[in-house]
Structure 1
Amino acid sequence: LGLRQAPSPASIRRVLTSAEPALLCSLNTAGDLAVLIVDGNAARGSRTPTTQAAHLLAAMTPAGHVAVQVRVADKASEIAALKDALAGVGITGCLVSADALHTQADTEKYLAGERRAHYLFTVKANQPTLFAQVKALPWAQAPVLHTEGDRGHGRAEVRTTKVLTATGIAFPHAVQALRVHRWVREAATGKVTRTYAYLVTSLSAEQAGAHRLARLVRCHWRIEALHHIRDVSFGEDTSRVRTGHGPLNMAMLRNLAIPILAGLGHASIPEAYRWVGYECFTRPLDLLGLP
């Protein structure tokens, strides 16, 4: 009769908690995997008095498609989960971008040594020797090789990038080091903040110049925007889903929905979300091409 009947809440619950997360990941057409951005996020609403919140580690493309997402085992860290996340993904020749938590020699050996991939790691004080070596490079004498700026969210931002050969850096396969200077002025208060970010990469100057490296650094921040949208627009932190694979599957459904909503041409994800909700029995399935 051309009618669509929604499944019962019990049926939806059973599917979400029992379906293998890999099945949902397979629905995602990630496309080009030349660059993968890795970051973790906790689904705080899944915490119980006896168990900690589900911690999820995702690998996303710069286009916003999550290629793979795994749950970090309780009492474990993202460092070990990275290998599990990328085990089934062909990353030979791929660039893996990760924050300072993953700036570990073991992770580097796994990516560059075993999997023949490249890396772009943030360097912070959790690796004090490496941080001191990178910070001590002659940045004052290095020219600014890339500058870009933008305005939005009530602030103006200018970013400059310097790149040097990673000479004397005690980190395997490190070829280049970067320093990104961020100058941010708040429009409402006029307050100015200046920060420096240091990074190392196994990419050579021929493989990635200053412009490409600056864009890769900028792309890494997009996964934080993805987590922000999941938390704020989709209420992930308030979701009480906690049974079985529920937290991981719900997060992956949000990952699948966000690029679709972003491609609708609305001013924001919340606006696109509301537009779909106006006809919630037809528009979601139509967008997915389902009868």
Structure 2
Amino acid sequence: MTVAPCLAKPTTFFQLLDQTPGLDGRDNRGKKHSIALVLTGLTLALCCGRDGKLSSLHRHMVNHSQPLCQATNMTHHKAISRAQLPLLLAKVNGVLFAQLLFGWFGLILDADSKRWFALDGKELRGSIQPGHTRGEACVSVLTHDSEAIVGQAYYSGSKESEKPVVRQLLNDKGLYNQKITLDALHLNPLTVNAIEGAGGIYIVGIKANQALLYRYCICRSVLIQATFERTDAVKRGHGRLEQRSYQCFSLHPTSLAPRWHAAGLATLIRVVRNRQGLSGGAPSQEVNYFVSNSQPTTQPEADELFDALRHHWRIEVMHHRRDVTLAEDRLRTESQAVSRLMSSLRTMVINLLGRKKPKNMVAQLEDFADKFLTLIQFMNQELVL
């Protein structure tokens, strides 16, 4: 009887990829390239700012294949060809890769010590085909404090809606009992009822498409006195001066439509942003409304809600980094599998760089590009290699 060899427990993410069955969907006949080596090579190329074109990423993999193979003890492997690269990527089990990624670099949640998370979706514009207006979309979960991406899910923007994807992601990640910030798209009874029922806290934007509730909230903010308020100091940035003011008002659930009775709506938050361009011009003002099932009884509790609204925009900063720093939208592909897999690899890069906390992410990518061995050392420290 032949006994199958027992693989040692993986101590690096590379070893985990190399030893996980089911990650590689290719036929076993004629395999030449290691899935783990290719995915790691792409990750290093992304860390060097080579995103935007698959050909650019491939050239980086070829030019730096020798030090990578030495670092992974796979010196007998040759770099994959440009023609084979998208074919191989399309065979990777993207769902399993994401599970491995967030399992290895994930965090442990504590129901008694809740954390704030932001959820939002982003369209992968490089996946939009000619003649179409929508493509693949990615929903991310971001922690407010560390700005780490702790979960993702994908859907086809031309066929599916973001709302059920968000609910499924909250369920899969066990986040219903945490503290969640969402944009106005997700002010939906199915979503907020589930968070309220699980003992979680939510803050969700509200806009005019919720006509009755929106008018009720505006009237509430005009007719009654705010329970708590705060005005932040004037901040300078992006060519303007900006000052934010916050007010929160109590809500009476019995005054709302029956569809909201199980949502636990307790607080209305009004945010006013006054802006003045540094080059002159007329000042502008923007007013936004949010609702929450949290009912603050002290100023610090109200400040926590105000801060959570401010920190929700960190997910937009993350999307900006994907678009501008990593050039995500410029990488065009007709393959759904490749588009989603590359998005997961960028998530890995953003989380890794977030641990390093560079002052300037672009400068860090350029530094890695100039000093590839420094990048190898960093990946060893982070247990990627």
Partner of 1:217: 309
Partner of 1:4: 68
The whole-number CA distance in structure 1 between the counterparts of 2:316 and 2:304 is 20
The secondary structure found in structure 2 opposite 1:158 is strand
Partner of 2:383: 289
Instruction: Kindly indicate whether residue 266 of structure 2 is the aligned counterpart of residue 181 of structure 1.
Output: no
Partner of 2:44: none
Contact 1:4 1:281 in 2 (8 A): no
The whole-number CA distance in structure 2 between the counterparts of 1:23 and 1:262 is 19
Cα distance change on mapping 1:138 and 1:100 into 2, 3 Å? closer
Q: Deviations over 1:113-161 (max 9, x none)?
A: 3x33221110101211111111111447437621213222222211111
Q: How does 1:1-291 map to 2 (within 5 A)?
A: 3-5=67-69, 7-8=79-80, 10=84, 14-15=88-89, 18-19=92-93, 20=95, 21-30=98-107, 34-49=115-130, 52-62=134-144, 63-73=146-156, 74-113=158-197, 115-139=198-222, 141-142=225-226, 145-149=229-233, 150-167=235-252, 168-170=255-257, 171=260, 172-206=263-297, 209-264=301-356, 266-280=358-372, 282-283=374-375, 286-287=378-379, 288-291=382-385
Q: Which moved more, 1:87-96 or 1:24-33?
A: 24-33
Question: Which TM-score applies when normalising by structure 2?
Answer: 0.68
Q: Deviations over 1:58-103 (max 9, x none)?
A: 1111121111111124411111111221221122531121100001
The whole-number CA distance in structure 2 between the counterparts of 1:31 and 1:187 is 44
Question: Which TM-score applies when normalising by structure 1?
Answer: 0.88
Q: Is the radius of gyration larger for structure 1 or structure 2?
A: 2
The secondary structure found in structure 1 opposite 2:220 is coil
Aligned-pair Cα RMSD in Å: 2.6
Higher helix share: 2
Partner of 2:23: none
The whole-number CA distance in structure 2 between the counterparts of 1:143 and 1:156 is 27
Residue 23 (structure 1) shift: 2.4
Higher strand share: 1
Cα distance change on mapping 1:23 and 1:151 into 2, 3 Å? same
Contact 2:136 2:336 in 1 (8 A): no
The unaligned stretches of length 5 or more in structure 1 are none
